[in-house]
Amino acid sequence: MSSVGLTSVKSPRHSSPSPPLPIIRRHLSSLLFKSPKIFQPVGLSLILPDFMADSDTRASVLSQSECDENGGTIEAVGPNYAEIIVIRHGETEWNADRRIQGHLDVNLNDVGRQQAAAVADRLSREPKVSAVYSSDLKRAFDTAEIIAKSCGVLEVTKDPDLRERHLGDLQGIIFHEAAKVNPEAHKAFVSNQKDQEIPGGGESFNQLYERCTSALQRIANKHRGERVVVVSHGGTIRALHKKASPHRGPTARVLNTCVNVFHVSDKEWSIKSWGDVSHLDQTGFLESGFGGDKHSG
């Protein structure tokens, strides 16, 4: 199957908004101290308002907050929680074709590798990460390896519990054809019953939820006081959102290589940012690609 280009008619890509004006970055230090109320502190780190949320600006401000007056490093993450940067894998040909992947091992396409390089570059200019974890499926693991190399992490730790939901007999089928090709499996897939398994060995949402939230909690327990990266899948990341925000659904789709920041402690999960694709202003992203919403797979 041929690679999908940036100008593909069937898969239009959208660019992120242009970054803030250089003058904002140039005077950010003085703005930080003159108008501190526009910044939201989280421990000793900062969550920026939307108009300053591009990677260059974020890295600049975080460097201000992480260095004392003598140039020493200040711990940006509190000792009782882990900051976990959860990233969806880069684009695959099957995403572009709206074909259901599940546990099938599909490679990144050329755009997906470009997206992985873009998010890796972004993370390399942000505060240091101490570890990179990934689903063992190639589309996630290859994304994670690109990130690890840019961030100076020697090895990616594979965890099968970070995989996408197993979608049984629907795997390999184009989504809009699923109801016709396998109506029983499709009905199970779109069911609102959280314990509904997919025929053909597929998982229920509850099974996905239990395995992926347990995996993230294990990672958090091992890395308290640290920033770590986890590369996973659209359906899995939405399940993690459910754990952190049980009464409110995601405000945006989980697009390829979007950045989602969780703070995870023994007793509490919280979401510090969601669905950030500001690093894709050059590569663009598939707004119409399959996955990342309630029918992710």
User: Residues at the annotated binding site for substrate?
Assistant: 88-95, 139
CB atoms within 10 A of CB 17: 11
Among candidate residues 89, 186, 223, 263, the one labeled active-site is 89
Given a contact cutoff of 8 angstroms between Cβ atoms, the answer to whether 172 and 99 are in contact is yes
Q: Is 176 a catalytic residue?
A: no
Q: Which residues pair with 263 in a beta bridge?
A: 83, 270
Task: Give bridge partners of residue 84 from the DSSP assignment.
Answer: 228, 262
Token pair 């510090």 in the structure block, residue:
272
User: The tokens of 259 are what?
Assistant: 């950045």
Known binding residues: 88-95, 139
295 catalytic residue (yes or no): no
**Residue of 83, 145, 164, 226 marked catalytic:** 164
Task: Please give the C-alpha separations between residue 187 and each of 182, 183, 242, in angstroms, as whole numbers.
Answer: 9, 6, 22
d(CA 213, CA 221): 12
DSSP-derived pairing of the beta strands 269-276 and 259-264: antiparallel
SS (H, E, C) 31-44: HHHHCHHHCEEECC
For the annotated catalytic residues, the residue numbers are 89, 164
